[in-house]
Amino acid sequence: MARILKARGFDVSTAFSGYEAVDAIKYGGGFDVVLLDIKMPGMDGIATLKEIKKWAPDTEVIMLTGHATLSSGTQAIRIGAYDYLMKPCHIENLVEKLKEAHEAESIKRHPVLWPRKTVREITLHSFSKLLPEDPLIKALEIMSRESGQEAVEEVYIVDYEDRLQGVVTKRELLKVAHKAHPELSFSWSKLVGNPELLPKETVRTVMRSDAITTPANAHLTDAANQMILNKVRSMPVLKAGRAIGIIKIQDIFRFVEHEIE
């Protein structure tokens, strides 16, 4: 992973244990972002996160785990993690998240909590969506994040009555571009810089119809467990069969910690 990130232009230092990571923070140069695994021998990721935040409270920490649980997610967010990603994590999504963390000026490390129990109470009603007849390049434009904007990793496809039809992710766009140009190697940044490499097709031709969804009246813990099980970080929220918004797992983590302590 260090080699891949260096090839993407990042200045990367590695540590092979939580203890080495804390020593690097205490005695090394300043770090903008730490990518930290949860499961480690000796000092685990949560304990390491606590120490990093004690010595370098302004350094952003992204947790990465293949053993996601509701309790570890809420605990990490409460302690001050910037985000919590589940493996396998596509490298292009990880790169976007690292850039996002680096650019962040202020993070809600200790949000004011008030009772929130159902999905509809924390649904984000503004979200990116497309029609099945829209061209692929429109999906690319939505996902082409500009500096200071939050990364968009997937776009939901709806009909004219906002009924969910499917989802398109960065992976689908890269796949269809490579199929059209098998002689080329692709990265997300290359596709963004060369949108003409996308075939002139509609999103209907590449969208997946298996988008994970949640009803608006679902309990937050049920929605979080569903996302962890399916390794997704956001879900469309449905009410009476229509998509009314999305819910993000890091937002759930901020509101359910009191229920599992």
pLDDT: is 177 or 233 the higher one?
177
Question: What is d(CA 139, CA 204) in angstroms, rounded to the nearest whole number?
Answer: 11
Per cent of the chain over pLDDT 70 is 90
Question: What is d(CA 247, CA 121) in angstroms, rounded to the nearest whole number?
Answer: 10
Place of tokens 């997300």: 188
pLDDT tens-place string over residues 186-224: 888 899 899 999 999 999 999 999 889 999 999 988 898
Phi and psi angles of residue 157, each rounded to the nearest 5 degrees, phi first: -105, 125
| Torsion angle of C-alpha atoms 152, 153, 156, 157, degrees rounded to 10 | 100
Question: Three-class SS of residue 123?
Answer: coil
pLDDT tens-place string over residues 51-68: 999 988 888 999 988 887
pLDDT tens-place string over residues 58-116: 889 999 888 878 788 888 888 888 888 888 787 877 888 888 788 763 343 444 444 56
What is the number of other CB atoms lying within 10 angstroms of the CB of residue 131?
A: 14
56-60 LR contacts (CB < 8 Å, sep 24+): 56/25, 56/30, 56/31, 59/25, 59/30, 59/31, 59/32, 59/33, 59/34, 60/32, 60/33, 60/34, 60/101, 60/102, 60/104, 60/107
Distances, alpha carbon 28 to alpha carbons 46, 51, 53, 239, 249, in Å: 21, 15, 15, 51, 33
Could you tell me the domains of the chain? 2-103 (3.40.50.2300), 119-260 (3.10.580.10)
Question: Three-class SS of residue 164?
Answer: strand
Considering the entire predicted model, what is its pTM? 0.61
Question: CB burial class (10 A; 0-12, 13-18, 19+) of residue 200?
Answer: exposed
Q: Running DSSP on this structure, what letter comes out for residue 237?
A: E
